[in-house]
Amino acid sequence: MTTRSDPLYEQMAAALREQIGAGVYGPGSKLPSERTLMERFGASRNTVRLGLKRLVTEGLIFPSHGQGYLVHRQDVLVYNASRSENHDRRVSAGVDAWVQDIQEQGRTPSQTIAVSIEKASPDIAVKLGLEAGDLVLVRRRLRFVDGQPWSTEDSYYPNSLVKNTLVAEPADIPEGVIAYMASMGYTQVRYVDDVTAVMPNPKQADDLAVEPGVPLLVRSRTGYAESGPVRVTVTAMPTDRNVLRYELGTRQNG
In CATH, what number is assigned to the domain containing residue 25? Answer: 1.10.10.10
Residues 46 and 137: their CA atoms lie apart, in Å, by 42
Q: Is residue 68 pLDDT above 50, yes or no?
A: yes
* pLDDT (mean) for 105-119: 93
- The answer to whether residue 252 is domain-embedded is no
Q: Which domain holds residue 33?
A: 8-71
* pLDDT (mean) for 211-240: 93
In our burial notation (b when 16+ CB lie closer than 10 A, e otherwise), range 221-245 reads bbbbbeeebbbbbbbbbbeebbeee
38 and 91: one domain? Answer: no
- The answer to whether residue 253 is domain-embedded is no
How many domains, the chain?
2
* pLDDT (mean) for 164-183: 91
CATH number of the domain within which 130 lies: 3.40.1410.10
Contact 60, 17 (CB under 8 A): yes
32 and 111: one domain? Answer: no
89 and 206: one domain? Answer: yes
Task: Strands of 10-86 (E only): list them.
Answer: 61-64, 68-71, 77-80
* pLDDT (mean) for 222-235: 96
184 and 231: one domain? Answer: yes
141 and 196: one domain? Answer: yes
Residues 86 and 79: their CA atoms lie apart, in Å, by 14
β-partners of residue 30 are 70
Q: What is the pLDDT of residues 186-202, one digit of tens each?
A: 999 999 999 999 999 99
Q: pTM of the predicted model, to two decimals?
A: 0.72
- The answer to whether residue 250 is domain-embedded is no
**Mean pLDDT of all residues belonging to the chain:** 88
Residues 143 and 158: their CA atoms lie apart, in Å, by 23
Q: Is residue 253 pLDDT above 60, yes or no?
A: no
Q: Is residue 174 pLDDT above 90, yes or no?
A: no
pLDDT-derived band at 254, boundaries 50, 70, 90: very low
β-partners of residue 78 are 243
238 and 199: one domain? Answer: yes
Residues 218 and 154: their CA atoms lie apart, in Å, by 11
Contact 71, 61 (CB under 8 A): yes
21 and 39: one domain? Answer: yes
